[in-house]
Amino acid sequence: MNVNQSAPPVPPFGQNQPIYPGYHQSSYGGQPGPAVPAAPYGAYNGPVPGYQQTPLQGVPRAPPSSGAPPASTAQAPCGQTTYGQFGQGDIQNGPSSTAQMQRLPAAAQQFGSPLAPVVSQPAVLQPYGPPPTSTQVTAQLAGMQISGAASQAPPSSGLGYGPPTSLASASGSFPNSSPYGSYPQSQAPPLSQAQGHPGVQPPLRSAPPLASSFTSPASGGPRMPSMTGPLPPGQGFGSLPVNQPNHVSSPPAHALPPGTQMTGPPVPPPPMHSPQQPGYQLQQNGSFGPARGPQPNYESPYPGASTFGSQPGPPQPLPPKRLDPDAIPSPIQVIEDDRNNRGSEPFVTGVRGQVPPLVTTNFLVKDQGNASPRYIRCTSYNIPCTSDMAKQAQVPLAAVIKPLARLPPEEASPYVVDHGESGPLRCNRCKAYMCPLMTFIEGGRRFQCSFCSCINDVPPQYFQHLDHTGKRVDAYDRPELSLGSYEFLATVDYCKNNKFPSPPAFIFMIDVSYNAIRTGLVRLLCEELKSLLDYLPREGGAEESTIRVGFVTYNKVLHFYNVKSSLAQPQMMVVSDVADMFVPLLDGFLVNVNESRAVITSLLDQIPEMFADTRETETVFAPVIQAGMEALKAAECAGKLFVFHTSLPIAEAPGKLKNRDDRKLINTDKEKTLFQPQTGTYQTLAKDCVAQGCCVDLFLFPNQYVDVATLSVVPQLTGGSVYKYTCFQVENDQERFLSDLRRDVQKVVGFDAVMRVRTSTGIRAVDFFGAFYMSNTTDVELAGLDEDKTVTVEFKHDDRLNEESGALLQCALLYTSCAGQRRLRIHNLALNCCTQLADLYRNCETDTLINYMAKFAYRGVLNSPVKTVRDTLITQCAQILACYRKNCASPSSAGQLILPECMKLLPVYLNCVLKSDVLQPGAEVTTDDRTYVRQLVSSMDVAETNVFFYPRLLPLTKSPLDSTTEPPAVRASEERLSSGDIYLLENGLNLFVWVGASVQQGVVQSLFNVSSFSQITSGLSVLPVLDNPLSKKVRGLIDSLRAQRMRYMKLIVVKQEDKLEMLFKHFLVEDKSLSGGASYVDFLCHMHKEIRQLLS
């Protein structure tokens, strides 16, 4: 089917829908608008209208913090909401881009069928029918005709500009009124309790279901209005599917015995088809679950209810109607259940193939032979035995490895094992290192490698007798025989040029062009470095760091500084021949901080004064990195460059760039060029840096386009980081920049590293994602690797696996420590293998799967159109779920969407990835922002991608003031916001405090030190320090959230109905986004349709 064909014609029931008084049917804000073209993506497409009070021309769009730029402009003016201004990036997981879902066949229109007027979900083409009661909601989706056309529904509130009443619960009517039925819990409140409206009670299940299955309502069929009373007489629940005992699920609390029917007053039919229309089975109101009561801003539910069987009367205003978000899988509930079930006991790694607790759960790890999940997480802990089975399931087999991960204080760092001059013991054939997975035979004189089955002799000095179980008697005295993670001291054979390395060096390279001086950046940085140099990383209990430091400033030319301890004043040497870069001095450039402290302090005092009157606006960039690398080469050591840079390098020099930003390329086949570097100079430079062990961390302070895609090549390939502070202002961004810089300088780094992942026979590592360089197919080369960076590895079958022996992974990282010691860090992990698909699906980890899929997609945009990348993701997700449905779920009606228990959040999380700025940018998202996020996500760990794609939304005024725990999160949807509350939202890069318009005056006073809501400053970036319990609690919570994240999250206070609220709503990822991204409900129904197409 042609993906771009127009929508099928409107079926006969597509007449004008009942509308709400005062709102013109097909317009925005009461103005007749242009006809909405038939969208290739039914419900997903197009902007989100809001309830307007003033006519808007064209499409409403989220205004950035102070006026959106015209779509054609290439640069972001400084007032605009860009990444750098709002946290490490204004990453809009929610409402985002113009082209969100343009990938589906026209059949996807079924979600946009002009059925009932639906008004509670922010979407142009609206969701689906009445709310289901639980995971096992029954309705007849089979045989539905999938041919609706995109209709223009009445504008919904939600993401518009008008009054903030979100129809489906603007004031907290439904939040948490009913947990998702299939999650194990002790006592679930009945769904019908929401706001005290009478409603249908959920049905009882005869057996716990195998999967989370629920039915998305028929999009092509008639939908009934939701009702405010119980079922009509004689209407029972649909037949309940039979479930197998393969999935966990508990029945809802208030349940009816099977077969019970509920009675109640009749309710009117929908004003569309008569019930006898072929291909449609009439769905009774109760079949989807709890009733929704009258919503704010609407007339009473039914002005005149007709009885069943009568012909539809004239269209009348009906209450809003949709699939109930409470009845579809909730990330919050899954996270909460995992915390309750698995947070109290330590996770012991001794058993092969255990799925660890979720990344959102706090738990202790006891290493008993497999690496901690803090070091390695897998997409599945039970691998299919054959490649055919793996192809059938389409579940990617991947591991996200964080070799130098920081452990909590309660867990011991890996032990360091020193085998002396003989070095670590390895298999002669495959070179795997000695580990608990090896088997000793012949009384301990030989060992069999569990990776390649080769039999090796045990060296005499390593010999030890075996006990009656065949284990060495010293197994528990040797970390490499009893633990999953440990380190070996490397011998000289593992060093470059067969000589031990020198301690590494840090070089600070500071842009002193006009922009850097004018903003106060140079003065701020020099002031900070005076104290920061005392906190350079050091080994264990060392009194001082062995890392040496050097300083360079630059604009169009480079200035090197001699800070030798014997000098009274620092000396400056200028290199103006940037085309042929060399280092003008060796002695005195890299120095020990304590020895040269007086000279360094004098230099840092002088730099801001020396360049205070500069008028030089042009800068170079490649020669700066070249100079740093040459300095490390001359000193014969590895190290890190900290480059502080402000503008596009347009001065005549190698690596000179031009402004090539072009928004017209978005959504074309040439869009991929925006993500690619514009010159090959930087790849060559990066390759040289890796060979030297020179890692680059780049701090950018742009006021306009700087071509992050090109400038970030060297940091990306050397294992470094990029930080971006758009339109930097000292008063607003000082805290964030200094916090990031302190953490970056102090964190543990391994230099000049090589990582290799070995696997047992049957699978092999075939693909790698992250910030590194590869000169061959097996070795991941990293000039630097810090505690935050991950390398994601994908595995494929090259032979059949054995269920008994399982599959083994060993990650070996060779690196130079901060003290200049050459070490090997080893992580081992044993996985199970299965011949049944059900075992694979029972042992998957969705968070890791999403981490892999996001990285796969974000790399894909370099070579393929964004639309193709999005299509690929959707197809893969549909294949994974269709394979489960076909091979593992019990037979049930095609109208039921059945999800594996451990993958029930796959659709909601995948939708967040699809709506992210890289894959679907809004008009205000710059090319630099997209590239920045793309490269940031490439080396994120699972915990970071989890909160990045599905932000945490915490109500601040609901939990008791004396409570020391974090308040329970709510789902990321506008429906969950109550105007009487204050909420905190974080995604690892951004931090918002949203203040409802009707918050109590006392709360406003306690938190903001002003007497009313109207006096709160919108956009405030720091809360006043007040001596009261609420202020202390909220500030403490913000501090603890910041401490958990790898980057400092800048705070923004957002008031309800303020222009900044649009930015905040970007992160409410369960809602439809301004640029056409589907709501969770829409996407779930779309996935269901895709799955059914695959199955048919």
DSSP string, 804-816: TT-EEEEEEEEEE
The string of pLDDT tens digits covering residues 871-887 is: 999 999 999 999 999 99
Give me the mean pLDDT over the 216-229 stretch. 40
At residue 78, the pLDDT reads 52
- Residue 212 pLDDT class (50, 70, 90 cuts): low
The string of pLDDT tens digits covering residues 382-407 is: 999 999 999 999 999 999 999 999 99
- Residue 57 pLDDT class (50, 70, 90 cuts): very low
Higher pLDDT, 667 or 335: 335
CA atoms within 13 A on the CB side of 217: 36
Looking at the chain, the number of H-run helices and the number of E-run strands are: 21, 31
At residue 327, the pLDDT reads 87
Q: Is residue 672 predicted with pLDDT exceeding 80?
A: yes
Give me the mean pLDDT over the 998-1019 stretch. 94
pTM: 0.75
In angstroms, the first-to-last Cα distance of the chain is 15
Contact 907, 1084 (CB under 8 A): yes
Q: Which of 216-220, 342-346, 971-975, 1080-1084 has the lowest mean pLDDT?
A: 216-220
The string of pLDDT tens digits covering residues 935-979 is: 999 999 999 999 999 999 999 988 888 777 889 999 999 999 999
Q: Which of 299-308, 743-752, 1002-1011 has the lowest mean pLDDT?
A: 299-308
At residue 667, the pLDDT reads 87
> Which tokens belong to 92?
């809009």
At residue 323, the pLDDT reads 75
Q: Which of 89-103, 681-695, 1026-1040 has the lowest mean pLDDT?
A: 89-103
Q: Is residue 1070 predicted with pLDDT exceeding 80?
A: yes
Q: Mean pLDDT, the chain, as a whole number?
A: 78
Q: Is residue 297 predicted with pLDDT exceeding 60?
A: no
CA atoms within 13 A on the CB side of 230: 13
Give me the mean pLDDT over the 866-874 stretch. 95
- Residue 119 pLDDT class (50, 70, 90 cuts): very low
Q: Is residue 329 predicted with pLDDT exceeding 80?
A: yes
At residue 895, the pLDDT reads 83
Nearest residue to 702 via CA among 90, 92, 85: 85
Give me the mean pLDDT over the 504-530 stretch. 97
Q: Is residue 91 predicted with pLDDT exceeding 50?
A: no
At residue 773, the pLDDT reads 96
- Which residue carries 């003031």 as its tokens? 961
**Burial level of 1012, CB count in 10 A (0-12/13-18/19+)?**
exposed
Q: Is residue 856 predicted with pLDDT exceeding 70?
A: yes
Give the ranges where 705-796 is alpha helix by DSSP (H). Answer: 708-711, 713-718, 730-746
At residue 124, the pLDDT reads 33
Please give the Cα distance from 1072 to 434 (Å, whole number). Answer: 52
Q: Is residue 1053 predicted with pLDDT exceeding 70?
A: yes
Q: Is residue 1016 predicted with pLDDT exceeding 70?
A: yes
Burial call 778-796: b when 16+ CB within 10 Å, e when fewer = eebbbbbbbbbbbbbbbbe
Please give the Cα distance from 163 to 19 (Å, whole number). Answer: 18
Cβ neighbour number for residue 775 with a 10 Å cutoff: 9
For residue 677, what are the contacts with CB-CB under 8 A and spacing of at least 6?
683, 709, 710, 713
- Residue 753 pLDDT class (50, 70, 90 cuts): very high
- Residue 282 pLDDT class (50, 70, 90 cuts): very low
Q: Is residue 502 predicted with pLDDT exceeding 90?
A: yes
What phi and psi, each to the nearest 5 degrees, are found at residue 729?
-130, 130
Angle at 367 between CA 362 and CA 373, to 5 degrees: 50
Please give the Cα distance from 936 to 927 (Å, whole number). Answer: 14
DSSP string, 872-936: HHHHHHHHHHHHHHHHTSPP--TT-EEEEGGGTTHHHHHHHHHTSTTTS--TT--HHHHHHHHHH
Q: Is residue 88 predicted with pLDDT exceeding 70?
A: no
Cβ neighbour number for residue 1022 with a 10 Å cutoff: 12
Q: Which amino acid is at 652?
A: E
Higher pLDDT, 186 or 912: 912
Q: Is residue 618 predicted with pLDDT exceeding 70?
A: yes
At residue 891, the pLDDT reads 85
At residue 23, the pLDDT reads 37
Cβ neighbour number for residue 293 with a 10 Å cutoff: 18
Q: Is residue 9 predicted with pLDDT exceeding 50?
A: no
Q: Which of 418-427, 579-588, 675-684, 901-910 has the lowest mean pLDDT?
A: 579-588
At residue 1022, the pLDDT reads 93
What phi and psi, each to the nearest 5 degrees, are found at residue 777?
-90, -5
Q: Is residue 265 predicted with pLDDT exceeding 80?
A: no
> Which tokens belong to 436?
């608990």
Q: Which of 276-290, 360-374, 602-616, 1050-1064 has the lowest mean pLDDT?
A: 276-290
CA distances from 394 to 716, 853, 881, 891, 908 (A): 29, 12, 9, 21, 19
For residue 261, what are the contacts with CB-CB under 8 A and spacing of at least 6?
231, 234, 235, 236
Q: Is residue 34 predicted with pLDDT exceeding 50?
A: no
Question: Is residue 567 classed as helix, strand or coil in its secondary structure?
Answer: coil
At residue 122, the pLDDT reads 32
At residue 419, the pLDDT reads 94
DSSP string, 642-669: EEEE-S---SSSTT-------GGGTTSG
At residue 211, the pLDDT reads 53
- Residue 607 pLDDT class (50, 70, 90 cuts): very high
The string of pLDDT tens digits covering residues 468-491 is: 999 999 999 999 999 999 999 999
Beta bridge partners of 749: 786
For helices 1001-1008 and 1029-1044, angle between their N-to-C axes, nearest 10 degrees: 60
Q: Is residue 275 predicted with pLDDT exceeding 70?
A: no
Contact 726, 84 (CB under 8 A): yes
Question: Is residue 722 classed as helix, strand or coil in its secondary structure?
Answer: strand
- Residue 503 pLDDT class (50, 70, 90 cuts): very high
Beta bridge partners of 823: 489, 815
At residue 1031, the pLDDT reads 94
Give me the mean pLDDT over the 522-551 stretch. 92
